Amino acid sequence: MNTVTTRTNTTLTLNEGYFARRNWLDWLFAVVVAVGLGYALQRYAAYMDVYEKGILLASIPGMIWLGWFWRPLRALMLGVVVMALLAIGLYQGPEGADLARSETVFGLKYFLSSQSAILWMSVVFFISTVFYWIGMFAKGESSTMSLLGSRLVWLAVTMALIGTMVRWYESYVMGPDIGHIPVSNLYEVFVLFCWMTAIFYLYFEEHYGTRALGGFVMLVVSAAVGFLLWYTVERQAYEIQPLVPALKSWWMKLHVPANFIGYGTFALSAMVAFAYLIKQQAGETRWYKLAPLWLLGVVLCFEPIVFRQGAADKGSSYWMVYFGISALIVAGILLGRKRIATRLPSFEVLDDLMYKAIAVGFAFFTIATVLGALWAAEAWGGYWSWDPKETWALIVWLNYAAWLHMRLMKGLRGTVSAWWALAGLVVTTFAFLGVNMFLSGLHSYGEL
């Protein structure tokens, strides 16, 4: 009788409903999200069309589910909202919102204006990368340094989101016809790429219980930050500009974020693949066998170098220093590969993480491609025009579709899948950045 009772209780526990498992903090979070977004809808309804209102309403259950699915996101969301509202409050002068206050108000000038927050994001990402690698070579993933690196990534993501939200507000202060969600040019989407890649990494870090991959993933994020800083200085890209006519569409709010979930997770999978190959080559002593890995490491970890616009550029000295640092870092990884290999998780974990990152990225990239086709039909009258950006998006999609097919149907694992994922980052980067720099077409508004 006791056995039956025990089994019955176990069955009831396992079959307990999803909503029944929510505690009072879950429901309090749900209420806060609903009230907050409801207020935003009421306060800013005049700036939205019916589609944008629909997107905002649909985001309410989405944000609640995310906060329930992964609890650390609650603190992130609430922290970003509080700090963004503080920044908006600091912009208020005697005659209303005044962007000039970003140069006179201490909190805005040094912390909470969009540009200040994004610069803090950049610095903190660099520092987190350093701490992750110190932790790798000091005491491994359990060390205080690795933990500090992880916490700094959270801080960098927070600053990135604060900068994004405040920039959104700043664009509307400049004028209702100028205001737009900040995902419209290379500067804004590089910020998006950085925090998207980092937040997915943080989830996988917690899911697999290892911080040993933080140094690898943060390398590609730091590379993006390096490009962002150069682009900011050389092109004054931080200045908010009105949207070109083709971008004045609610489709942009869906297409671009979905696209960059794909880009971010593809980059993450490539860096995990790089770690996989480093672990596999830990015992290799013949340097000529490591030469391809060395060369690929320089290119893939610091890809923006490849796409600089000629040696005559004013930024050439910047890129030379950047390349030198890149080469030293990759050389350090190869020289310390035996110690690194002992810190990395098993091949099975690396392989599984690579697969899950690509699977998530492929799903969202597929959605983004469909949304892009619908947007193209509205903007240009056709779903597909073989524009260079569209063509390379299709190449990226086919590459990862083939990778997933080979894994699921043919059992692709190990070295080949790692090299393929790593090579996929080259294709993805050209689709993301190279097309904008070297090719023209309907997407030429995104060129450097």
Residues 42 and 180 in one domain: no
Is residue 130 within 8 A of residue 176, CB to CB? The reply is no
Residues 90 and 34 in one domain: no
d(CA 424, CA 351): 15
Q: Contacts for 6-11 with beta carbons within 8 Å, 24 or more apart?
A: none
Q: Where are the beta strands (DSSP E) in 77-173?
A: 92-93, 96-97
Residues 357 and 218 in one domain: yes
Question: Quick check: 311 pLDDT over 60?
Answer: no
Answer with the one of 9, 41, 69 that is the final residue of a domain: 69
Residues 34 and 163 in one domain: no
Is residue 220 within 8 A of residue 152, CB to CB? The reply is no
**DSSP assignment letter at 48:** -
d(CA 36, CA 28): 12
Residues 140 and 202 in one domain: yes
Is residue 411 within 8 A of residue 421, CB to CB? The reply is no
Examine residue 369 and state whether it is found in any structural domain, yes or no.
no
Residue 50 belongs to domain spanning: 19-69
Residues in the chain: 448
Answer with the one of 309, 330, 362 that is the final residue of a domain: 362
Residues 57 and 140 in one domain: no
Examine residue 342 and state whether it is found in any structural domain, yes or no.
yes
3-state SS, residue 93: strand
Answer with the one of 337, 362, 387 that is the final residue of a domain: 362
Examine residue 423 and state whether it is found in any structural domain, yes or no.
no
Examine residue 8 and state whether it is found in any structural domain, yes or no.
no
What confidence category does residue 1 fall into, taking pLDDT thresholds of 50, 70 and 90?
very low
Helix axes 144-174, 114-138, angle to 10 degrees: 170
What confidence category does residue 317 fall into, taking pLDDT thresholds of 50, 70 and 90?
confident
Residues 42 and 81 in one domain: no
| Structural domains in the chain (count) | 2
Half-sphere exposure of 367 (CA within 13 A, CB side): 18
Structure tokens at 295: 């060369």
Q: Residue range 94-121: average pLDDT? A: 94
Residues 48 and 194 in one domain: no
Residue-wise pLDDT for 349-391, tens only, equals: 999 999 999 999 999 999 999 999 888 888 777 788 888 888 9
Examine residue 403 and state whether it is found in any structural domain, yes or no.
no
Residues 238 and 308 in one domain: yes
Structure tokens at 361: 């990225």
Bigger pLDDT: 238 or 403? 403
Question: Quick check: 448 pLDDT over 60?
Answer: no
Residue-wise pLDDT for 122-132, tens only, equals: 999 999 999 99
Bigger pLDDT: 251 or 302? 251
Half-sphere exposure of 148 (CA within 13 A, CB side): 13
Q: Residue range 393-399: average pLDDT? A: 95
Residue 176 sits at φ, ψ, to 5 deg, of: -60, -30
Examine residue 336 and state whether it is found in any structural domain, yes or no.
yes
Residues 237 and 274 in one domain: yes
- Out of 109-118, 236-245, 341-350, 409-418, pick the least confident: 236-245
Examine residue 174 and state whether it is found in any structural domain, yes or no.
yes
pLDDT of residue 13: 45
**DSSP assignment letter at 16:** -
Question: Quick check: 189 pLDDT over 60?
Answer: yes
HEC letters along 389-432 = HHHHHHHHHHHHHHHHHHHHHHCCCHHHHHHHHHHHHHHHHHHH
Residues 55 and 187 in one domain: no
**DSSP assignment letter at 141:** G
- Out of 48-52, 152-156, 363-367, pick the least confident: 48-52
Residues 55 and 199 in one domain: no
Examine residue 446 and state whether it is found in any structural domain, yes or no.
no
Question: What average pLDDT is seen over the chain?
Answer: 86
